[in-house]
Amino acid sequence: MNATSLPATADTRRDAADLRADRAFRWLVSAAGVLVLVSLISAALSMLWGGRQAFSRFGLEFFWRDAWNPVLQDFGALVPIYGTLVTALIAMVIAVPISFGIAMFLTEIAPKWLRTPVGAAIELLAGIPSIIYGMWGLFVLVPFLAEHVYPWVDDNLGGIPGIGAVFSGPPLGLGMGTAGLVLAIMVIPFISSVMREVFLTVPGQLKESAYALGSTKTEVVWDVVLPYTRSAVIGGIFLGLGRALGETMAVTFVLGNAHRLTVSLLEPGNSIAATIANEFAEADSPMYLSSLIALGFVLFMVTFVVLTIARLMLRQLKKREGN
Amino acid sequence: MSASLYRRRRAKNAIVQLLAVGAAVFGLFWLVWIMWTTLSKGIGAMNLALFTEMTPPPGAEGGGMLNAFFGSMIMSLLGIAIGAPVGVLAGTFLAEYSRNSWIGETVRFVNDILLSAPSIVLGLFVYTLVVAQMGHFSALAGAIALAFIVLPVVVRTTDEMLQLVPTQMREAALSLGVPQWKVIVQVLYRSSMPGIVTGILLALARISGETAPLLFTALNNQYWTTNVLSPMANVPVVIFQYAMSPYENWHSLAWAGAFVLTMFVLLVSLLARYIVLRNKIAHD
């Protein structure tokens, strides 16, 4: 039987219409999917393009020059890059052990009735807009640290030979240390909720067998739960690190916005995100603007690498779950 | 020997457990402190003028944030209107058309990266894409920047929700001769609607507090405007400028704005949780 012998009934006409609609829908959703892909690539390319003047003028030197002088049109990324890395590092040093403690509390220690409310409360911290952290940091935390904490730090730790320089300086309250602390508070909910979730994926039998052998809770978490979830835990930590590197508003409020290279945690500094947020509106020359966008490109690349590592590590556990 | 080892293990366990409890208290401590500050300073600065008057010029007394609330509402809704449909479609692509294919895996991966990419970077991206091309700041550019934040959240929840729909449901519909797009639109979307709405609400909560990407897309505007092609006031940027200013009057306005913003964000995320919870109970 060939096609021409068939009369074009209403049914086949509907089939053809369905086919067309199906194809159009498929095309539509594929376009949306590809758009996601394209938007990431074009974000990177557009910033590379926007920063081309800075890159062509300063070359690779852009990354390690500490100059930042809009009047002389002389720009380098070293101070913001340094500030970004130092504040993120401080945040991680505080946030990782605390988050681990919270996750352990929520999965092994706390009584059942307490787990949901405490977990929800910690997650509330993640929902508060970062500008609120910034305001609280500037108006509440900064004066508190300047009055009660930093003078003590300067007096007691500033004199230690070698590392004293890190802890000495005028007690302004603003600075790298404060920014690191605020960042830590902001990333704790992210890291601890990832840790809690992956801890919950550990098979009950595994933990029970360890308990049956007489292990303490500490030993179960450290020797059974943590090895089982290691890659996902590292993924969660990198997720928090990515957040700390790119966080803008909170840091802008408490970092002090000073383009100076200093080892002291008590002195103001700058970060990539804070520099862009503070200075973008007043960038009056193409070279200034281009340098700021070039900074954005650097930030994007750094967070891209960190987030990629985070996702790859988090995926490890999912794969194992699938098997 | 073994008794002392036993004691040491018990002591270590007790210390570690104490530290873990301390960590949880530490986390809650900051939450309480920040919420307390926002509540006490925000309620003190609340008044009727906040919702009826425009943002004041430097040095002037009084004033409110009416134009900023309006601008935030317009830009958030526009951001959702642009970002959410594309997100739902892209999520559909991942769940229904490219499961286990390399392109699907790549898109999913890239979407996860976008989900946690710094928002200031997305702002810069939209600046070069829209603002630099148009030659001026605009609420539309702000909304596009927000749409890029909405997109990955909605993609992710749509993808996850569609994957939760049992395969039998698709097979049942297809076996009746329903074309695939109708299966997706009329069967799958309907059954995963609460999840998708939750994703959109979470995205709304997230963008209503976003400041960094609006700094160089929507900028700010001291006056009332309904023109989306001009700069528009919005709550986060007004809070930023007023909090950084030296004026007491502006500070208290910033606190009032912060209070309203925080309450809004918390309410929306609570609503999102409630929808998920209610749906879960209905399924059990």
A152: CATH: 1.10.3720.10
Encode pLDDT of A177-222 as tens digits.
999 999 999 999 999 999 999 999 999 999 999 999 989 999 999 9
Encode pLDDT of A250-289 as tens digits.
999 999 888 888 888 888 889 999 999 988 888 888 899 9
Fold adopted by B50-283: MetI-like fold (1.10.3720)
How far is it, in rounded angstroms, from Cα A2 to Cα A4?
Answer: 6
Q: Residues of B numbered 102-161 whose beta carbons fall under 8 angstroms of chain A's beta carbons: which are they? A: 103-104, 106-107, 109-114, 116-122, 124-125, 127-129, 132, 148, 151-152, 155
What confidence tier does A168 reach under pLDDT thresholds 50, 70, 90? confident
Least CB–CB distance from B122: residue in A43, A124, A247: A43
What confidence tier does A7 reach under pLDDT thresholds 50, 70, 90? low
Under 8 Å between Cβ of A277 and A196: no
Q: Residues of B numbered 171-210 whose beta carbons fall under 8 angstroms of chain A's beta carbons: which are they? A: 179-182, 184-185, 205, 208-210
Q: What is the pLDDT of residue A86?
A: 94
Interface contact B26-A98, CB threshold 8 A: yes
ipTM for the predicted complex comes to 0.91
Q: What is the pLDDT of residue B221?
A: 79
User: Is the pLDDT reported for residue B11 higher than 70?
Assistant: yes
Encode pLDDT of B229-275 as tens digits.
888 889 999 999 999 888 888 899 999 999 999 999 999 998 988 88
Q: What is the pLDDT of residue A6?
A: 55
DSSP code string of A235-269: HHHHHHHHHHHH--HHHHHHS-------S-TTS--
Percentage of chain B with pLDDT > 70?
98
Are A32 and A169 members of one domain?
no
User: Is the pLDDT reported for residue A160 higher than 90?
Assistant: no
User: Is the pLDDT reported for residue B23 higher than 80?
Assistant: yes
User: Is the pLDDT reported for residue A320 higher than 80?
Assistant: no
What confidence tier does B226 reach under pLDDT thresholds 50, 70, 90? confident
CA angle B80/B269/B127 to nearest 5° reads: 35
Dihedral sign for Cα B202, B208, B209, B211, please. positive
Are A64 and A36 members of one domain?
no
Are A42 and A16 members of one domain?
yes
Are A176 and A316 members of one domain?
yes
Encode pLDDT of A67-115 as tens digits.
888 888 889 889 999 999 999 999 999 999 999 999 999 999 999 999 9
* Interface contacts (A, B; CB < 8 Å): 257
* Total count of domains within chain A: 2
Interface contact B212-A249, CB threshold 8 A: yes
Report the chain A residue with the minimal C-alpha distance to residue B129.
A46
**Shortest Cα–Cα distance, A27 to chain B (Å):** 9
Measured between alpha carbons, how far apart are the two ends of chain B, in Å?
Answer: 53
User: Is the pLDDT reported for residue A172 higher than 80?
Assistant: yes
Q: What is the pLDDT of residue A8?
A: 58
Percentage of chain A with pLDDT > 90?
62
What confidence tier does B197 reach under pLDDT thresholds 50, 70, 90? very high
Under 8 Å between Cβ of A134 and A113: no
In chain B, where are the structural domains located? Answer: 10-44, 50-283
**Shortest Cα–Cα distance, A200 to chain B (Å):** 17
For the segment B82-105, the average pLDDT, to the nearest whole number, is 94
What confidence tier does B281 reach under pLDDT thresholds 50, 70, 90? low
Q: What is the pLDDT of residue A1?
A: 45
Q: Is residue A133 classed exposed, middle or buried when 0-12, 13-18 and 19+ CB atoms within 10 A define those classes?
A: buried
What confidence tier does A9 reach under pLDDT thresholds 50, 70, 90? low
DSSP code string of A9-45: -HHHHHHHHHHHHHHHHHHHHHHHHHHHHHHHHHHHH
Report the chain B residue with the minimal C-alpha distance to residue A276.
B120
Encode pLDDT of B132-190 as tens digits.
888 888 999 999 999 999 999 999 999 999 999 999 999 999 999 889 999 999 999 99
Interface contact B121-A300, CB threshold 8 A: yes
* Domain range for A28: 2-50
For the segment A147-172, the average pLDDT, to the nearest whole number, is 84
Arithmetic mean of pLDDT over chain B: 90
SS (H, E, C) B171-214: HHHHHCCCCHHHHHHHHHHHHCHHHHHHHHHHHHHHHHCCCHHH
